Amino acid sequence: MSAHRSNRLSEEDCSVAREAADIAVRKTFAILGVDLDSPKEVDAFRMDLRFAGELRLAAKESRKTVFRIALTILLTAIVGTAWVGLQTKLGVGSK
C-alpha cells in the first residue's frame, strides 16, 4: 500500500517558505543596494528603474532618427551627384 501524501503545505511549512522568500528578496535587494526598510531608498530605486526604461525608449527613438538623417544625407548626395553629372553632360553652366 502506498501512503497518500497531501500536496498542501502545512502551516509550519508555509511559514518557513515565507521566511525564506523574505530573506531571499531582502538579500537580492541588498545586493542591488536597496534597503527595503527605507521608503526613500525604495522610491529612489523605482525612479531609477523608470528612468532606465525611458532612456531605453529614447535610445530606440534616437536610432530611428539617426538612420533617417543618414538616409536623407545619402539620398541628397546621390541626387546632387546625378544633377551635377547631368549638368556637366549637357554643358549647362560652363562657359
Does residue 54 lie within any of the structural domains?
Answer: yes
Match 553652366 to its residue by C-alpha cell. Answer: 93
Does residue 5 lie within any of the structural domains?
Answer: no
Does residue 3 lie within any of the structural domains?
Answer: no
How many domains, in total, are found in the chain? 1
Question: How many whole angstroms separate alpha carbon 90 and alpha carbon 31?
Answer: 72
Q: By the 8 A CB rule, do 36 and 29 touch?
A: yes
Does residue 6 lie within any of the structural domains?
Answer: no
Does residue 8 lie within any of the structural domains?
Answer: no
Does residue 35 lie within any of the structural domains?
Answer: yes
Question: How many whole angstroms separate alpha carbon 19 and alpha carbon 13?
Answer: 10
pLDDT tens for residues 15-66? 999 999 999 999 999 999 999 999 999 999 999 999 999 999 999 999 999 9
Does residue 27 lie within any of the structural domains?
Answer: yes
**Full residue range of the structural domain in which residue 79 is found:** 13-90
Does residue 95 lie within any of the structural domains?
Answer: no
Q: Copy the grid coordinates of residue 20.
A: 525564506
H or E, element range at 58: helix 39-90
pLDDT of 76 higher than 60: yes
